[in-house]
């Protein structure tokens, strides 16, 4: 387990010995930076001969393989990743279910050979043999956090790892290598740098390698795996190990493995082209969650992002509908995240200069629990602050419509983008609604003195068939959040929050009054054509035009009461506002009754 000193070898040495049974064994030792690190050639004389096992017993049923060959052209995978598969060879995990369950239960501790022999009872192909060994190690060997800190108490010899049930990465890789060798599978223990525990974004790597893993030879090609990282993880203080199986590190695609494993010998990247150490250091660290959740790529590809005019942007592409959240210095206030059909886009506007940690979390849309996993980390370097992009605290992420809001029944939005800009303080948002949906909308602003009820009256709903229009008249300039809630009409329960928009208006002269107050008898598909303002001028004749159906009479009650006349589906007429402070619209639902219901209320300006 000792690192070999790094003195250059002048030339390849070859030692050849012949046994009296006609077996020729050649061991070649190469300098570290050439292709193979240690290279054994075993060639047997005629007829099959059993090799003595490490313990001197017969290796019944085991066939030693020829020596590991160095990686060559047919082992190499294209870089960057082609987004095809997370694995370097086709693997059907369902076909492993029985084998995995069997391997988990095997309980042999006295010798590595006996353990392998027990595991291979259920494994036929080389792939199955490797799988059984992998599953056993990942579930039975724990990371030795004590030994890591105190090397005197640590052994990485395979038999010691087996019997104590714990080790560090080199012990995992050594046990894996020996078990494969006994099973007749070519396997290499590889050393290199890793972006594992204690890694800091953007750090450089110097000195000795800090991690060990394996390469196995299956179906005529080399493949990579890391049983240490497959077994679980240590906590932040590096004092406690938790078994948490991770499928990602079994036969990982080399273009993904390079994300956090940089071998001492670049040939073992199994990549074409190979990456330099500098590229490895600069590349974004995508942890296994990133790929296991079906995420494909993230932009930018560097770990440190500089803001431009106070803004930094990140985007993620993924295979299927995924939900995202983010934290910038622990909060999601200073950003604007939008969900896309195949990913998300995030614009960040830090409100302080300096370095900010940005974390992005994701979960599958079908996941039942509300657990988001961290999939990306960046450092945002902010040189200048864009004060205009200070968002209201009520803004909820993600912003704007998406596949998620479509699923909730909000189809064909008139405004597909998250921000609605208005110059005159008015805007109108329309959707086609799914069946049986009742909508509630509210307006929020950080510097508004209006009550919630008054803010709600700055939005008017208009229904036409399955279309809904939300007319918005802003009370003043600034940034507003339009929150949209919904429930099934047939449901007696509360409204559920669905999504929100950001509405911005820079025109300081904007000062729209609220819409008139409506009462319960004002039916969803009634419509006000005029007057839209809930505040009427004093001492004026005001023209009324309302779209209502299924009623017998309509009256407008001011100082005097005036009837409206029905004309092609609209009720029209005028009313004089002198001498009153309020105006009511009343309907007579049945011509035979004398009872009127209030449907609308207007205020009249004071003189």
Taking the CA atoms of residue 294, residue 299, residue 300 and residue 303 in that order, the dihedral angle to the nearest 10 degrees is -20
Alpha carbon separation from 31 to 8, 12, 67, 205, 394 (Å, rounded): 6, 7, 18, 22, 63
Instruction: For residue 482, give Cα distances in angstroms to 152, 301, 327, 434.
Output: 63, 34, 22, 20
| Distance (Å, whole) CA 158 – CA 170 | 10
Catalytic residue, chosen from 139, 140, 211, 356, is: 211
Instruction: Indicate the burial class of 388 (C-beta count within 10 angstroms; 0-12, 13-18, 19 or more).
Output: exposed
Structural contact between residues 67 and 297, judged by C-beta atoms closer than 8 angstroms: no
Phi, psi of 332 (to 5 degrees): -110, 30
Angle 296-297-303 from CA coordinates, rounded to 5°: 140
Residue of 126, 144, 226, 332 with catalytic role: 226
Q: Which residues share a beta bridge with 583?
A: 602
Q: At 483, phi and psi to the nearest 5?
A: -100, 135
Contact by Cβ (8 Å): 482, 472: yes
Neighbouring CB atoms inside 10 A of 583's CB total 24
Which run of H or E residues covers position 325?
A: strand 322-328
For helices 112-119 and 169-182, give the axis angle rounded to 10 degrees.
60
Q: Name which of 523, 524, 594 is nearest 552 in CA terms.
A: 594
Do residues 337 and 345 touch, judged by C-beta distance below 8 A? yes
- The sign one gets for the Cα dihedral 167, 168, 171, 172 is positive
- Are 340 and 351 in contact by the 8 Å Cβ rule? The answer is no
Write down the residue that tokens 């290199």 correspond to: 192
**Residue 468 and residue 439 in contact, taking contact as beta carbons nearer than 8 Å:** yes
Within 10 Å of residue 368's Cβ, how many Cβ atoms? 6
The CA–CA distances, whole Å, from 5 to 1, 138, 152, 154, 208 equal 12, 31, 21, 21, 10
Question: What 3-state class would DSSP assign to 260?
Answer: coil
Return all residues near 233 (Cβ < 8 A) that are at least 6 apart.
241, 242, 244
Does 100 participate in catalysis according to the annotation?
no
Active-site residue identified among 77, 100, 144, 169: 169
- CA–CA gap between residue 13 and residue 10 (Å, rounded): 9
| Exposure class string for 467-499: b at 16+ Cβ within 10 A, else e | ebebbbbbbbbbbbbbbbbbbeeeeeeeeeebb
CA 93 and chain centroid, separation: 23
Q: Confirm whether 140 is a catalytic residue.
A: no
Please indicate whether residue 253 is annotated as part of the active site.
no
φ, ψ of residue 359 to 5 degrees: the values are -115, 140
Catalytic positions are: 169, 211, 226
């Amino acid at each position: 387990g000792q690192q070999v000193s790094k003195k250059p070898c002048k030339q390849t040495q070859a030692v050849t010995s012949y046994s009296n049974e006609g077996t020729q064994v050649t061991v070649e030792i190469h300098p570290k930076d050439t292709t193979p690190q240690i290279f054994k050639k075993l060639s047997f004389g005629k007829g099959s001969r059993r090799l003595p096992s490490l313990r001197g017993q017969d290796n019944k049923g085991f066939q030693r393989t020829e020596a590991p060959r160095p990686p060559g052209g047919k082992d190499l995978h294209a870089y960057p990743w082609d987004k095809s598969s997370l694995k370097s060879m086709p693997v059907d995990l369902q076909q492993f279910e029985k084998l995995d369950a069997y391997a988990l239960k095997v309980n042999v501790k006295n010798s590595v050979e006996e353990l392998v022999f027990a595991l291979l009872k259920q494994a036929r192909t080389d792939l199955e043999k490797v799988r059984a060994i992998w599953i056993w190690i990942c579930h039975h060997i724990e990371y030795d956090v004590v030994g890591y800190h105190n090397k005197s108490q640590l052994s990485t010899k395979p038999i010691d790892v087996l019997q104590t049930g714990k080790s560090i990465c080199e012990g995992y890789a050594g046990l894996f290598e020996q078990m494969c060798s006994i099973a007749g599978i070519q396997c290499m223990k590889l050393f290199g740098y890793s972006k594992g525990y204690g890694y800091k974004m953007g750090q450089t790597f110097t000195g000795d390698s800090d991690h060990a893993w394996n390469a196995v030879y299956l179906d005529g090609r080399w493949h990579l795996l890391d049983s240490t990282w497959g077994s679980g993880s240590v906590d932040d203080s590096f004092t406690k190990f938790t078994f948490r199986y991770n499928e990602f590190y079994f036969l990982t695609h080399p273009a993904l493995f390079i994300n956090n494993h940089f071998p001492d010998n670049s040939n073992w990247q199994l990549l074409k082209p190979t990456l330099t150490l500098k590229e490895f250091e600069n590349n974004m660290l995508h942890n296994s969650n990133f790929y296991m959740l079906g995420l494909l790529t993230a932009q930018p590809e560097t770990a440190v992002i500089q803001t431009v005019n106070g803004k930094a942007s990140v985007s993620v592409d993924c295979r299927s509908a995924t939900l995202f959240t983010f934290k910038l210095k622990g909060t999601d206030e200073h950003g604007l995240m939008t969900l896309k059909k195949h990913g998300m886009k995030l614009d960040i506007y830090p409100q302080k200069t300096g370095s900010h940690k940005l974390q992005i979390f994701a979960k599958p849309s079908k996941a039942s629990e509300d657990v988001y996993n961290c999939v990306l980390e960046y450092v945002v370097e902010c040189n200048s602050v864009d004060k205009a992009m200070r968002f209201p605290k009520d803004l909820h992420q993600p912003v704007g419509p998406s596949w998620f809001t479509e699923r909730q029944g909000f189809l064909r939005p008139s405004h597909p983008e998250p921000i609605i800009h208005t110059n005159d303080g008015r805007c109108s948002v329309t959707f086609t609604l799914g069946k049986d949906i009742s909508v509630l909308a509210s307006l929020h602003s950080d510097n508004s003195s209006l009550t919630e009820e008054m803010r709600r009256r700055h939005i008017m709903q208009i229904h036409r068939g399955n279309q809904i229009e939300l007319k918005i008249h802003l009370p003043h300039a600034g940034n507003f959040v339009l929150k949209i809630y919904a429930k099934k009409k047939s449901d007696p329960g509360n409204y559920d929050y669905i999504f929100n928009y950001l509405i911005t208006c820079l025109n300081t002269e904007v000062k729209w009054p609220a819409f008139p107050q409506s009462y319960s008898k004002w039916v969803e598909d009634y419509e006000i054509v005029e007057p839209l303002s809930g505040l009427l001028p004093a001492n004026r004749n005001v023209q009324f035009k309302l779209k209502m159906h299924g009623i017998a009479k309509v009256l407008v009650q001011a100082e005097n009461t005036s009837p409206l006349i029905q004309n092609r589906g609209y009720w029209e007429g005028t009313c004089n506002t002198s001498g009153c402070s309020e105006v009511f619209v009343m309907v007579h639902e049945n011509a035979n009754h004398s009872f009127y219901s209030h449907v609308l209320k207007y205020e009249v300006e004071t003189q």
